[in-house]
């Protein structure tokens, strides 16, 4: 299976990317190919809602989405990786997701798999409610088959994350595919 991971953390050595590394390690050990896209540092402009794309492209904007779009469409699985910023995906990842608009139809037809990896400082039981709602809406709208969710509560620093059970859970999720 071809897996594309969309990392949304501006902190390349942060907790959510640590989870991504472990997921990728497990997925590769299970025989899958993994491609990581650093959405946080890519040149991706915001969707203007012009709908010139007709929801199946091309987008009128010329930026790194021209490179990212075919990578996503060649994949069998999309993994969303984000730190929890104000109870949702990072702005960087949200910008990339919004640009799905230009190829919604192509994504929907593929019936791809998906997963969510997230890390948050907060460990309250409601911490991930809004993020989960958004992710589940994407899964429905884009006809994804959700293969798993890892929500790293209390993972405010890489050290806290490293000493939690979440990296192992991410590894196991990748390995189980």
pLDDT, residue 56, reads: 87
pLDDT, residue 130, reads: 97
- Residue 145 corresponds to which tokens in the numbers above? 């088959």
Give percent above pLDDT 70 in the chain: 100
pLDDT, residue 57, reads: 83
- Residue 97 corresponds to which tokens in the numbers above? 């997701």
Confidence check: pLDDT of 6 > 90? yes
Q: How far lies 64's CA from each of 39, 61, 89, 95, in Å? A: 10, 9, 20, 12
pLDDT, residue 62, reads: 93
- Residue 84 corresponds to which tokens in the numbers above? 């929890």
100-158 tens-digit pLDDT: 999 999 999 999 999 999 999 998 999 999 999 999 999 999 999 999 999 999 998 99
Please give the mean pLDDT across all residues of the chain: 96
**What average pLDDT does the segment 160-171 reach?**
97
Structurally, the chain folds into a number of domains equal to 1
**What average pLDDT does the segment 9-16 reach?**
93
CATH code of 164's domain: 3.40.50.360
Give percent above pLDDT 90 in the chain: 93
52-71 tens-digit pLDDT: 998 888 899 999 999 999 99
- Residue 5 corresponds to which tokens in the numbers above? 């991971």
Domain of residue 16 covers 2-175
Selection from 8, 37, 36 nearest residue 22 by Cα:
36
Model pTM above 0.85: yes
pLDDT, residue 92, reads: 96
């Amino acid at each position: 299976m071809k897996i594309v991971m969309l990392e949304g953390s501006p902190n390349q050595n942060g907790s959510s990317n640590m989870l991504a590394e472990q997921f990728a390690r497990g997925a590769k050990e299970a025989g899958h190919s993994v491609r990581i896209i650093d959405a946080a540092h890519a040149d991706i402009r915001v969707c203007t809602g012009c709908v010139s794309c007709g929801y199946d492209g091309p987008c009128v904007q010329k930026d790194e989405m021209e490179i990212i779009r075919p990578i996503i469409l060649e994949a069998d699985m999309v993994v969303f990786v984000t730190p929890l910023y104000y109870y949702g995906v990072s702005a960087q990842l949200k910008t990339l997701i919004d640009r799905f608009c230009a190829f919604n139809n192509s994504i929907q037809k593929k019936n791809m798999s998906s997963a969510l990896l997230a890390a948050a400082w907060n460990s309250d039981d409601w911490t991930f409610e809004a993020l989960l709602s958004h992710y589940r809406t994407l899964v429905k709208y884009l006809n994804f088959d959700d293969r798993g969710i890892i929500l790293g509560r209390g993972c405010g620093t890489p050290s806290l994350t490293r000493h939690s059970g979440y990296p192992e859970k991410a590894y196991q999720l990748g390995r189980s595919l």
